[in-house]
Amino acid sequence: MASLLNNLQTAFLGLKQLEWLYLRGEMFHPSYFITPPPKVKTLKIKCVVSVAWWRRFANAELKGVKELIIYNSKVETASWMSELDKDDYEIEQDDDEYGMTYAATPKEFDLGSVKVEGLREFWLQGGFRPRDLGECIAKAAKGGISILGDLFAVPEGEVLRGQREGLGS
């Protein structure tokens, strides 16, 4: 499977004149992040994502992307995961008030940094994201960025922290 996904990534990178890319739906697996071609200025993603997806997003070179729109929802254990995926998703068991395990959700996590240097507008809708995403985006953009989205997606405190440091608009 890895070689097929590498071939798909190579095919996307081969679209050298592409300036707008919209990825919608499940892209083979919730941990698979497709890096867009270098000339893509607008990247819109609507998919189910995992912790591993966010980590791959953070390490992807997105220097040409000026506008990034992400609509996401978290992966649900029963829908995609196998026993082999559990470490990849950093899952913790949820217990009810009687101590019975009824579901598993991703643990809270941070990225530390992202590689979206030229980003001018970031829109996130969907509550599943790293705790430090707003701060990471503001730092990487180095000023002049609009961070939009619902309050569950980009907490006001994160955006304001970046703005106070002169990192956001």
Specify if 82 maps to a domain: no
Domain presence at residue 105: no
The number of distinct structural domains making up the chain is 1
Report residue 61's pLDDT band, with 50, 70 and 90 as the boundaries.
confident
pLDDT digits (tens, 9 = 90+) for 110-143: 999 999 888 899 988 876 788 888 889 888 888 7
Q: What was the pLDDT predicted at 77?
A: 57
125 domain-assigned: yes
Model confidence at 15, pLDDT cuts 50, 70, 90, reads: very high
Buried b (16+ CB within 10 A) or exposed e, 93-113: eeeeeeeeeeebbbeeeebee
In-domain check, residue 154: yes
- How many whole angstroms separate alpha carbon 20 and alpha carbon 15? 11
pLDDT for 153 beyond 50:
no
Query: Does any domain span residue 90?
Result: no
Task: Tell me the residue range of the domain where 132 lies.
Answer: 16-75+112-164
67-74/42-49 β-pairing? parallel
Note the pLDDT of residue 51.
84
Asked whether residue 30 is domain-assigned, the answer is yes
**End-to-end CA, the chain:** 42
pLDDT band at 144 (very low <50, low <70, confident <90, very high): confident
Other residues' Cβ atoms within 10 Å of the Cβ of residue 44? 15
pLDDT digits (tens, 9 = 90+) for 65-104: 999 998 887 766 555 555 555 555 555 565 666 766 555 5
* 134 occurs within a structural domain: yes
Look at residue 151 in the predicted model and tell me its pLDDT: 34
Which range among 11-20, 43-52, 106-115, 147-156 shows the weakest confidence by mean pLDDT?
A: 147-156
Instruction: Answer whether residue 47 is part of any domain.
Output: yes
Q: Model confidence over 22-53: pLDDT tens digits?
A: 988 776 777 888 999 999 999 999 988 888 88
